Amino acid sequence: MSRTCGAGRVRALSLAVVCAVALSGLPSAATVALDTTTGAPGIGDPYWPLDGNGGIDVRHYDVAVDYDFATGELSGTTTLTMAARTDLATFHLDLLLPVTAVSVEGVPAAFAKPVEHELRVTPATVVARDDVVEVEVTYAGRPGSIVYADELNWLASDRELLAANEPHMAPWWYPANDHPSDKATFDIAVTGPATHQAVSNGLLVNRRVDGARATTQWRVLRPMTTYNALLALGRYDVEQTTRGGLPSYVAVSRDLPAFERSAALRQLRRSDEITAWLARRLGPYPFESTGGLVTGLPAGFALENQTRPTYPGAPDTELLVHELGHQWFGNSVSVRRWRDIWLNEGFAQFLQHYWLETHRGQPAQQWLRKTHRAFAATRGFWRLDIADPGAARVFDNAVYVRGAMAVQALRHRIGDRTFWRLLRAWTDRRRHGTGGIGDFRTLAERVARQPLDGFFRAWLSAPRAPAVTRRNGLR
């Protein structure tokens, strides 16, 4: 996500939701530890206790949804292919919509919604540890009326729909193990008016028109985090190209004025060029396609949806670099826990400054020193621990700006050649996986062959501006 177009719409989990969990009879963490046949209603991330689910590992999502602009209702059937991490008599999925049927391996299963966010499934027989099963969920409702974690994420008019947000989006339109630590491949089929195009992630497989309705199928071949799944439905100007064997798909809403559509298409055409530029520095592009979408809806921010970032208007070049940089930092290598968000936003923001440096703009080190001087006396800017900012400030300005400063300071501290070797090692070794800040620090020390504890503490966690020293990358 880029703060260039506005801050993330994220606040801490409300006390009301926490109380609802306590009153619902959902098992506590201590109870879950003792009962190995109950999948926990949360994966263990303290920022959002209900996100994700214990005991399951989703391998693939087959999502089929149908949206009615007239009523605002979305109906769907999603089949999850999942492995059991332990013997499971019950397990949970994250879904905010009402459910009408659930089956496990084709056999009807009992289900309940103890709280709105949680779908508790009780299969006819216990799912044994390491078994891989198909779970089919049928559901329908009006996502536009649903709030979770103080977020109202469904964005739609009577002509266009965009489901794209961070850290939460999946439960508004499909059942999920909704946490970055459980990634999966996807098939996504979207049915809507035949006058509209449906845009999602990965590769366009097929579009079938049946009277006044059309169904479009997309396929994601590489593992994807659940919040990165994109659902867009509208009237778009679309262009498809291929560069160096990599397909590109870009779309711009026809609800925008003609001059803005033209500017947006002109900028989106640069996506494959920028993707290739990033690949030369970060290693091979990790996915099967690239591109982007410009919406006519008032999204207020850009988001790095895997293979197809979304923008709330014609993006400038630096914003393209930011969101496409996330394809490596955030999408291919995803955060293990939400506290690790610096690994996403700090590096994407740094890449913007590096782009400027390499395209006759201000050198990134000069930007670092000027920004350090400008904020040196601003105490509030340094008080946030960006290695653990908390749910309420996970997209705080300091995570982006200080995060990018820390990356450039590291580059200066360990030297340019070692720095880029480190980034390529990180994106290669954890490709399509996850990582935490501690993992990155360990790798940095190994590649640089020097201790860096003091450096990371000064830039990420110390409640004051780093001293202007060589050890802090400022001289």
pLDDT tens, residue by residue, 356-374: 999 999 999 999 999 999 9
pLDDT at 430 over 80: yes
pLDDT at 164 over 60: yes
pLDDT interval class at 38 (50, 70, 90): confident
Q: What is the DSSP letter of 315?
A: P
Asked whether the domain spanning 335-461 has the same topology as the one spanning 3-234, the reply is no
Which top CATH class is 335-461? Answer: mainly alpha
* Best CA proximity match to 97, nearest among 163, 13, 175, 188: 175
Domain ranges within the chain, ordered by starting residue: 3-234, 335-461
Secondary structure, 3-state, 354-398: HHHHHCCCCCHHHHHHHHHHHHCCCHHHHHCCCCCCCHHHCCCHH
Q: What is the DSSP letter of 181?
A: T
Residue-averaged pLDDT of the chain: 93
Average pLDDT estimate for 441-454: 98
The predicted structure's pLDDT at residue 15: 30
Global pTM?
0.92
Asked if 372 and 365 count as a contact pair (C-beta separation under 8 A), the reply is: no
In angstroms, the CA 414 to CA 471 distance is: 9
Burial track 154-165 (b if 16+ CB lie within 10 A, e otherwise): bbbeebbbbbbb
The predicted structure's pLDDT at residue 1: 80
Average pLDDT estimate for 34-45: 80
The predicted structure's pLDDT at residue 56: 97
pLDDT tens, residue by residue, 178-215: 999 999 999 999 999 999 999 999 999 999 999 999 99
pLDDT at 269 over 50: yes
Assign residue 473 a region: left if phi > 0, alpha if psi is -120 to 50, beta otherwise? left
pLDDT interval class at 33 (50, 70, 90): very low
Share of the chain above pLDDT 90, in %: 92
pLDDT tens, residue by residue, 120-159: 999 999 999 999 999 999 999 999 999 999 999 999 999 9
The predicted structure's pLDDT at residue 17: 31
Fold exhibited by the domain 3-234? Immunoglobulin-like (2.60.40)
Helical H segments across 235-340, by residue range: 258-268, 271-282, 317-325
Q: Is 60 exposed, middle or buried (0-12, 13-18, 19+ CB in 10 A)?
A: middle
The predicted structure's pLDDT at residue 288: 97
pLDDT at 6 over 80: no
Lowest mean pLDDT across 12-26, 214-228, 440-454: 12-26
